[in-house]
Amino acid sequence: MTEAGALRQHVRPGAGPGGRQAVLEAAALAFTRNGYTATSIDDIADVLVATKGRVYHYYRSKLDIFLDVMISGMRELTERVGPVAGDLRLGPTERLRQMARIHATLMMTRHSFQRVAVQGIEMHLAGSLRPRQRRTWDEIIAMRDRYEQLFADVVEAGQGSGEFRETPARLATKPLLGALNWTTIWYRPEEVQQEGAGPAVQRIADELAEFVVGGLRKVPDT
């Protein structure tokens, strides 16, 4: 890391509307529209209303941008869901319901980042990673595993309390997150989605949360 560009990144990371964060937002949008491979650096520049030069000023390669979008998306999830997952004053059912609601909401309000994160996880880019990127990738996988564990934990807590069906927690986590993550596929944000989120977003998030809680609930004997 001895070039001027790299140094500047450290001085003001992502400051200003024309800076690194703008490139990231533009890239998230472009990747969402066309997928990783089909998105060219020129496409990203187009969203920025700029040229390639600006993009390469902040990032060394397309893959670096992509990995950074993924990290940002997963960080947002962890930061919002983590506190609720750790709030043991809530019973397992209510805790899971709130975790699911927050997760689902982010799938919609931060659609482009979350969609990239979801699609990136399923990409097999293990090959073609340079050592530095390889380390970033390992960190992404670790973040994902820790995040999934938050859900596995609440599932097990619910089994312990008798609220949830007995089923392998790690397996139950798959359809749970699948139902929620699928939102990035079918949901189409029409306008600018702000933090507060619109009413439609809340209604959908509630429905998804009910669904996943129900999917685990123990059926009372007749």
Partner DNA sequence: GTCTATAGACTGATAGAC
Partner DNA sequence: GTCTATCAGTCTATAGAC
Minimum distance of DNA from residue 10's CB (angstroms): 6
End-to-end CA distance of the chain: 67
**167 lines the binding site for DNA (CB under 7 A):** no
Structure tokens at 179: 């139902």
Burial of 193 from C-beta contacts in 10 A (0-12 / 13-18 / 19+)? middle
27 binds, among a copy of itself, DNA, none (CB under 5 to 8 A by kind): none
Q: Give the C-alpha distances (Å, rounded to integers) separating 73 from 80, 195, 200.
A: 11, 15, 22
18 binds, among a copy of itself, DNA, none (CB under 5 to 8 A by kind): DNA
**Residue 217: phi, psi to the nearest 5?**
-60, 140
> In the chain, where do the E strands start and end?
none
Minimum distance of a copy of itself from residue 123's CB (angstroms): 7
**61 lines the binding site for a copy of itself (CB under 8 A):** no
**52 lines the binding site for DNA (CB under 7 A):** yes
What gap in Å lies between CA 95 and CA 146, rounded to an integer? 17
Q: Give the C-alpha distances (Å, rounded to integers) separating 70 from 12, 34, 62, 66, 200.
A: 21, 16, 13, 6, 26
Choose which of 86, 139, 142, 182 interacts with a copy of itself (CB under 8 A).
182
Place of tokens 């997760």: 103
Answer yes or no: are the C-beta atoms of 69 and 28 closer than 8 Å: yes
Q: Which of 193, 192, 179, 188 is nearest to 103 (CA)?
A: 179
Choose which of 27, 28, 32, 54 interacts with DNA (CB under 7 A).
54
**171 lines the binding site for a copy of itself (CB under 8 A):** yes
**124 lines the binding site for a copy of itself (CB under 8 A):** yes
**137 lines the binding site for a copy of itself (CB under 8 A):** no
Question: Where does this chain touch a copy of itself (CB under 8 A) — which range of 4-12, 32-40, 55-63, 72-80?
Answer: 32-40
**7 lines the binding site for DNA (CB under 7 A):** yes
Place of tokens 């709130």: 98
**185 lines the binding site for a copy of itself (CB under 8 A):** yes
What residue ranges bind a copy of itself (CB under 8 A)? 33-38, 121-124, 165, 167-168, 171-172, 174-183, 185-186, 204, 207-208, 210-212, 214-217, 219-220
Kindly list the residues in this chain that would bind DNA in the complex (CB under 7 A). 1-2, 7, 9-10, 13, 18-19, 38-42, 45, 50-54, 56-58, 60-63
